Amino acid sequence: MALLLSVAACNDNDDLPRPGFSKVELHAAASSNSGGGTVTIGDFAVSDFIVGTQEVNMMYLPAAAVEAGVTIENGTLKPNNDAPLAKSASEARELIVVTEGDHQTVKIGEGETHNGIYSEITFKLHKITGPSVNDVVSGKSFFLSGDWNGTAVVIFLENEESILAPSRSAEGYEVSGKSSFIINFNLDRILANVNFGAAEDFNQNGIIEIGPNNVDANGSIYTVIRNNINASVNFEVE
């Protein structure tokens, strides 16, 4: 009996984070003003939204600095890239945050990370590849499909640029115990000032394509969307 109790105690301790660390989960989702049901931005009904990510790091002000009176405004943020959470989250992933018109929440990573105040997340877009990926999505780092007034629309990026997602709270979020955060991709902001009425199906294949290299002669709309993305991503406590 004593041996069983000892093993149980060890298992309980194994679940505890190291001193100065907390267990954290990180998720991703799409957000919009359309509420429940089908995701609709103006006259554009979203079908699928997929983002490829890699090298995800959470930027934080260490707990020791906070205790010494340092603030987000005058302190220096550090990446948590040496923490188990970062190692888990930095693997190349395919985040399917909308599928067949429905929102989904997707886990990016989990594990211990340093205690402190977190106010930024950085990550790189990653080209989606693999045997399970269909040809339409393969090679894209950002893929958004849907319907505009009865016409199929596909919006995509192929670049692997870095994205900075600030905390929704200007003060950041303190981690000093078990926590969960979510990165939000705001579809209203991503598609802000996009005039689908000006989009063309130049090759007349029945699909309006908006992507690099002026595909379907929609280069100007692609530029608007690409410029919107950096200001369309933030994170918050889940």
**Using one digit for the tens of pLDDT, what is the confidence trace for 16-64?**
789 999 999 999 999 998 766 678 999 999 999 999 999 999 999 999 9
Look at residue 12 and tell me if it is in a domain: no
Q: How much is the pTM? A: 0.90
Number of domains making up the chain: 1
Alpha-carbon gap, residue 138 to 44, rounded angstroms: 23
Look at residue 113 and tell me if it is in a domain: yes
Question: What's the chain's Rg over C-alpha atoms?
Answer: 21
Give me the chain's average pLDDT, please.
Answer: 92
Of 2, 9, 122, 8, the closest CA to residue 57 belongs to: 122
User: Beta-strand (E) ranges in 63-101?
Assistant: 78-79, 93-99
Look at residue 1 and tell me if it is in a domain: no
140 neighbors 157 (Cβ within 8 angstroms): yes
Look at residue 6 and tell me if it is in a domain: no
**Per-residue pLDDT reduced to its tens digit, 136-185:** 999 999 999 999 999 999 999 999 999 999 999 999 999 999 999 999 99
Look at residue 59 and tell me if it is in a domain: yes
Alpha-carbon gap, residue 125 to 123, rounded angstroms: 7
DSSP, res 231 = G
Look at residue 168 and tell me if it is in a domain: yes
Look at residue 4 and tell me if it is in a domain: no
Q: Which residue range(s) make up the domain with 144?
A: 18-237
